[in-house]
Structure 1
């Protein structure tokens, strides 16, 4: 195959795809931005009221302070996943996936474009939550650059899983099944609401095979300066997971797996 007339990279097409994916969630902010913020706030209020002072300190900080970074990370990754899975699934079901496949975009350009949309949605929600908790609770960020790295790589990993879900599922109920029975349990059982060192040894070992745990734990370290795992280890695991998922997604777009039929 010769060189495309757009050059090695179709920058215009890639930027257009990124804009489209961002405009998808910006067009309905009540559903895509406000709703996750309210949900995270409700989690924080309920756990604070139900557990609060009775829980005692966790990792040397109050339970509410411990909870905030986990809730932010969980909200970010869930929305990065939702953005790409719903986008690709809707295009397949409505039959307009051809509008994505026909333009002169390579597999990796499609991958980057979709992932960017998911990452941007996660970043936006995470930033708003961080500002809100900073104002209301005085919750600061000890290592902002690390926090950004974990959010971007974690968002890329989850957005990639969203694309794989969109490729694999043929109906909305199949997409919902993957979300409800795989993604949500892995997110909730990743140390969001507790330190994994409090678990029995067997469950702690199992949890450490969950890549979601390293995203949650890394973001928590970025905020609090304390974690269950060394931050460099967490960032390495999340980076490798994001790269692996990205390669699989690229292969899927390149071959048109479950997209052209």
Structure 2
């Protein structure tokens, strides 16, 4: 009888990609936010509807059309995108930080998952939450706002691309943060300013020249502008530039996250 030697330490038995491990991690992350969907899905939708109600009742009737689009119909896609990116960021950042604080991050690091597989499982769950929140928000708005689809490819591309961008940024925020104050600082001083100053509530063409040029350096502007283009057919910026920025920023963020997972920066004691 021949004896088969045990595989050497570090040998993978799953081929090039541990599909089962990636799927398990992804499902675990999705179930984590789905079990508290009142907080993670319903609450953001209600908050967005309150924004819509305030603008519709207090400001909407006094605002002129924006490039031929009624103001409320112009506003709605920006609010949907804002909901998606904020929740994609919250999902990944909170998952990693809570695991670090509770000491169970080891349960994620010990399984036979490579840095790339960890990145896929965690980031895609963030994308899922972002897209789910966006879809639910859009459906909830339909009784109050007419929302058609002018370019389906743009709606899908920017919804997924934006959610991925903020999910990866959430991974970075969760890894860097050592307590909730750190993560809240990222939210308050990075995510919210980029979102509110990106044309969510206004057309950037109405800004002074210096502010208009400054907005072009805000990647969130291209996310909102591209998604709005998919819904209304109108864009304030270049769609080609927006696509390039989404792909480029996501590639850079993905690479950084991969390196941090591989080195265990602020993850391994």
Query: What TM bracket, shorter-length normalisation?
Result: over 0.9
* C-alpha distance in structure 1 between counterparts of 2:22 and 2:192, whole Å: 30
Matched, 1:38 2:52: no
* C-alpha distance in structure 1 between counterparts of 2:185 and 2:145, whole Å: 36
Superposed CA offset, 1:129-185 (max 9, x none): 222323432311211221111011111110000000011111111111111111111
* C-alpha distance in structure 2 between counterparts of 1:48 and 1:61, whole Å: 14
Deviation at 1:49, TM superposition (A): 1.3
Residue aligning to 1:103: 111
* C-alpha distance in structure 1 between counterparts of 2:63 and 2:118, whole Å: 46
Show the 5 A alignment for 1:1-261: 4-261=12-269
1:190 touches 1:207 (CA, 8 Å); kept in 2? yes
Deviation at 1:117, TM superposition (A): 0.5
Residue aligning to 2:6: none
Superposed CA offset, 1:65-122 (max 9, x none): 1000000001100000000000000000000000000000000000011111000001
Question: Max radius of gyration: which structure?
Answer: 2
Give the TM-score of the pair, scaled to structure 1. 0.97
* C-alpha distance in structure 2 between counterparts of 1:134 and 1:229, whole Å: 26
Deviation at 1:206, TM superposition (A): 1.1
Aligned pair count reads 261
Gaps of 5+ in 1: none
Deviation at 1:3, TM superposition (A): 5.4
* C-alpha distance in structure 1 between counterparts of 2:210 and 2:122, whole Å: 37
Give the TM-score of the pair, scaled to structure 2. 0.94
Label 1:169 to 1:2 Cα distance change in 2 as closer, same or farther (>3 A). closer
* C-alpha distance in structure 1 between counterparts of 2:220 and 2:147, whole Å: 23
